[in-house]
Amino acid sequence: MQLTHEQEAMAAAVEDQWLATALETGPADRAAAEEGVRVSYRLAGLEPPTRIYWFGSPRAAAVAVALLTGVSVPSSSGVSPSSGVLSSSSGPGSADGETLPEWFGGVVAELRRQGWQTGETAGASVRRQVRTEPWAAARAAAAAELGAEGWAQLGSAAGRRSWGLAMDRVAGRLRLRLGEDLIAGLPADLGKAVRSRLLDAIYGQFDGAWLGTFDAAGRLSPQAGSESPQAGPGSLETESESLEAGSGSLETGSGLSQDGSGAGLAGLAAVARQAGWWWAHERVAVLSERPALLARDNVGRLHRGEGAAMEFTDGYGLWAWRGMPIPPELAAELPTLTLDRIQAEENAEIRRVMLEHFGYERYLQEAGARQLGSDETGTLWYLDLPGDEPLVMVEVVNSTPEPDGTSRVYWLRVPPDTRTARAGVAWTFGLTEEEYHPLVQT
């Protein structure tokens, strides 16, 4: 099957809707999300969880999952397992080094508030049954219905942009930073145990990056994605009434609705419309809220000059500069950077963040960069950076004046072996110096 231009346009429109879901912020409709959880279990042939817990961030949810799956709190940590309260004798710098942060005690207390009793466990993870197998079945059905060419064409039309923008640039960065924060913020064994629970996470709203492809497949063909990993009581028809109610229900006629296509994904889609990361276990499901704030730059990377680029309601946040997660203390330091502070930084990636915030032009001037030459395209500057590759940049003046008559200056970082401004400008276009022959210089 080969998609027509109209079908590709439809698929792209579906992707836009799911991309908006993946990047949504604000409180969940918890009732709708919980119903989606129950549908996911039933479609997988499982009994729904007996209890569903909610937390303000994936960090808190991961800790809750660890506690619900048997990870013990160090007795010397200052946290009372029965109450979740930090004892008065605990505090930073305890002799045994096992003191836990205040937010950890808050997670224990929140579990208690929601009804957790000592000895209650979540059971084994059922992520494979709830998420992995339905995805594989839907993919196999869609590929069989659309053919290899049609499936590849659909994936390009309805999934390529959203995967890069939602999973690579947001969810992937969050996962990386969260894992590092858990290791750095908790005692060694406990931090590793909690981080390992990230392997069982279902990405909730960020699954919109691939749900859109199956949604579009179902709209193209009623049979595409119709396979469910379990038959019988897990079929979509038995859940249609519950999915029709509430703001979190799936739209009638969509590729993931009660028309029969994408049946095994209907519950996952309902959760994705409302919640952030979540965990599915035999007896318990743990859900987290979506971010309260999500700041990105003009190309979709996590970015915010002051404050966290991603903020959650319980205080957890991710600081990022043009897509790179950075420590909160660095974010606080950026407005007051000095040349000496940048030069003293040993971490090359962090130093690059500092350089971008400080400004390359200012840094080159203050650090005494050497001019390698100039031509009709611009001026080439060179500066050694200790512990990193040299900083080589082309200073380019826009030939089109601004409304006030001034000409804007741009700085282009180029490979360290660049030796002429023309070669540097050509490199930014993927050309060699000999191939670069612009008709109009803008």
32 in a structural domain: yes
Per the domain annotation, does 379 fall within a domain? yes
Tell whether 278 and 408 lie within a shared domain.
no
Q: Which two three-digit tokens encode residue 55?
A: 């937390």
Which whole number is the average pLDDT over 223-229? 44
Return the exposure string of 97-115: e unless at least 16 CB atoms fall within 10 Å of the residue's CB, then b: ebbbeebbbbbbbbbbeee
Q: Is the pLDDT of residue 303 over 80?
A: yes
- Same domain assignment for residues 130 and 237: yes
> In terms of residues, how long is the chain?
442
Q: Which residue has the higher pLDDT, 381 or 257?
A: 381
| One domain, residues 234 and 136 | yes
Domain assignment of residue 354, yes or no: no
Range of the domain at 391: 368-428
* Whether residue 282 is found in the same domain as residue 153: yes
pLDDT, tens digit, for every residue of 321-342? Answer: 888 888 888 877 888 889 888 8
* 12 pLDDT more than 80: yes
Residues 40/271, Cβ–Cβ less than 8 Å: yes
Q: Is there a domain that residue 146 lies in?
A: yes
User: pLDDT by residue (tens digit) across 235-280?
Assistant: 222 333 333 333 333 333 345 643 334 568 999 999 999 999 999 9
Residue 379 sits in the same domain as residue 284: no
Among candidate residues 246, 265, 292, the one where a domain is terminated: 292
Mean pLDDT for 360-386 is: 90
Query: Could you tell me which residues are beta bridge partners of residue 392?
Result: 382
pLDDT band at 132 (very low <50, low <70, confident <90, very high): very high
Residues 13 and 161 in one domain: yes
Domain match, 405 and 277 both: no
Work out the mean pLDDT of the chain and round it to a whole number: 83
pLDDT band at 38 (very low <50, low <70, confident <90, very high): very high
Provide the number of structural domains found in the chain.
2
64 membership: H or E segment, kind and range:
helix 58-68
91: pLDDT strictly greater than 70: no
Do 378 and 244 belong to one domain? Answer: no
Structure tokens at 175: 């996962």
Residue that finishes a domain, picked among 292, 317, 348: 292
* Tens digits of residue pLDDT in 190-209: 999 999 999 999 999 999 99
What pLDDT digit, counting tens, does each position of 54-83 carry? 999 999 999 999 999 999 876 654 455 555
Residues 44 and 156 both lie in one domain: yes
pLDDT value of residue 409? 80
| Residue 41: per-residue pLDDT | 97
Residue 186 lies in a domain: yes
Residue 406 phi, psi (nearest 5) = -80, 160
Provide the pLDDT confidence category of residue 216 given band limits of 50, 70 and 90: very high
pTM here? 0.76
Sheet holding 284-288, edge to edge: 51-55, 284-288, 278-280
The answer to whether 54 touches 64, Cβ cutoff 8 Å, is: no
User: By percentage, how much of the chain surpasses pLDDT 70?
Assistant: 82
Q: Tell me how far apart the alpha carbons of residues 133 and 167 are, in angstroms, rounded to a whole number.
A: 20
* Residues 288, 374 within the same domain: no
| Structure confidence at residue 175 (pLDDT) | 95
Residue 215, pLDDT > 60, answer: yes
Per mean pLDDT, which of 44-53, 179-188, 364-373, 382-391 is the most reliable? 44-53
| Structural domain contains residue 223 | yes
* Whole-number pLDDT of residue 239: 31
- Looking at residue 406, the DSSP 8-state letter turns out to be -
With bands split at pLDDT 50, 70 and 90, how would you rate the model's confidence at 8? very high
Same domain, 177 and 279: yes
Gap between the Cα atoms of 7 and 269, Å rounded: 22
The mean per-residue pLDDT over the stretch 133-161 comes to 92
